[in-house]
């Protein structure tokens, strides 16, 4: 089986889930390279509320999560329109499987 062929047509999504700092992104990148998969990562670096959240979690929790949710939704829209020949998609957050499944 080549890296681009998925022998089990039922498995298309691989998700690495865990707490901050355990290496989810590093592992997802290694799996992506091994399987020649599409990589979907949490986009935390452009969240304007994240720094405020760490200063005042109670006040900025909703805004922070809504930003992540909107970003994830945008990623799902792009996935639907991108490469139809990718056998695997690897992500470092769980919600993308649900969102992508709903859009599919």
Rounded to whole angstroms, how far apart are CA atoms 78 and 4? 20
Q: What tokens appear for 53 in the block? A: 């959240």
Which pLDDT score, from 0 to 100, does residue 33 have? Answer: 95
Domains of the chain by residue range = 13-103
Residue owning tokens 């901050």: 20
Give the pTM. 0.62
- Over residues 43-76, the pLDDT tens digits come to 888 899 989 988 998 999 999 889 988 988 888 7
Class of domain 13-103: alpha beta
Is pLDDT above 90 for 30? yes
At residue 42's C-alpha, the angle toward residues 97 and 59, to 5°, is: 110
Torsional sign, CA 71, 73, 78, 27: positive
Which pLDDT score, from 0 to 100, does residue 18 have? Answer: 77
- Over residues 70-99, the pLDDT tens digits come to 988 888 777 766 666 677 888 887 764 554
């Amino acid at each position: 089986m080549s890296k681009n062929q998925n022998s089990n047509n039922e498995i298309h999504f691989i998700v690495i889930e865990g707490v901050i700092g355990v290496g989810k992104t590093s592992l997802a990148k290694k799996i992506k390279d091994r399987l020649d998969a599409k990589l979907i990562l949490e986009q935390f670096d452009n969240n304007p509320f994240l720094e405020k959240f760490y200063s005042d979690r109670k006040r900025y929790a909703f805004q922070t999560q809504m930003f992540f949710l909107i970003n994830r939704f945008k990623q799902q829209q792009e996935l639907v329109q991108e490469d139809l020949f990718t056998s695997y998609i690897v992500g470092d957050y769980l919600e993308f499987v649900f969102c992508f499944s709903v859009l599919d």
